[in-house]
Amino acid sequence: MSDTIINLTNVITVLLLLVGAFFMLAGTIGFVRFPDFYSRMHATGKCDTLGEGLMLVGLIVYGGATFVSVKILFLIMFILLANPTSTHAIAKAAYDVGLEPWRKLDDRVEWLDTGNTDDGRDDQDGGEER
């Protein structure tokens, strides 16, 4: 590269890395703080994919048009295919086992008071183990 102090490639790389790291940290905070299994997966499944893609794109911009960049491009394409697939597989496995989704407290109390059990979901198994 040129020997200027700030060139455009480094600035774009640092910006993409910072935005990607922000998305990753936001996904991690959501993964720790959310109350339910499904909402935790909602936090991690999208934020991690986007943050990782942005960081790897920044590294591609830094590396230039070499063979290494093509390799990282294949890595990005595989991650964009595989990460939503694995998230969907985990969610479907959890729903088949019978984890019930978290709902707000007022909604649940009202639903229990009316005695309406015809809610369309079976709610008796796996309620404690979220």
Partner 1 sequence: MASAELFGTIGMVDVFLAMALLIVIASFVSLYRGIEGPGIFNRIIAVNVIGTKTIVLLVLIGFIYERPDFFDIALLYAILNFIMTIAATRY
100 DSSP assignment? P
| Of the residues 7, 117, 123, 125, which one makes contact with partner 1 according to CB under 8 A | 7
The site for partner 1, by CB under 8 A, has a size of 55
x/- mask, partner 1, residues 66-95, rule CB under 8 A, reads: --x--xx-xx--xx--xx-xxx-xx-xxx-
**Residue 72's closest CA among 87, 52, 86?**
52
* 100 counts as binding partner 1 under rule CB under 8 A: no
Q: CB 110 → partner 1: shortest distance, Å? A: 26
Give the C-alpha separation, 20 to 106, whole Å.
37
Cα three-residue angle 114-116-120, rounded to 5 degrees: 145
**Residue 101's closest CA among 78, 68, 126?**
126
Give the C-alpha separation, 111 to 90, whole Å.
28
20 DSSP assignment? H
CA of residue 43 relative to chain centroid, distance = 5
* 109 counts as binding partner 1 under rule CB under 8 A: no
Q: CB 103 → partner 1: shortest distance, Å? A: 17
* 65 counts as binding partner 1 under rule CB under 8 A: no
* 29 counts as binding partner 1 under rule CB under 8 A: yes
| Of the residues 62, 98, 102, 111, which one makes contact with partner 1 according to CB under 8 A | 62
Give the C-alpha separation, 91 to 71, whole Å.
30
Given the rule CB under 8 A, which residues bind partner 1? 1-7, 9-10, 13-14, 17, 20-21, 24-25, 27-29, 31-32, 37, 40-41, 44, 48-49, 52, 55-56, 59, 62-64, 68, 71-72, 74-75, 78-79, 82-83, 85-87, 89-90, 92-94, 97, 99, 129-130
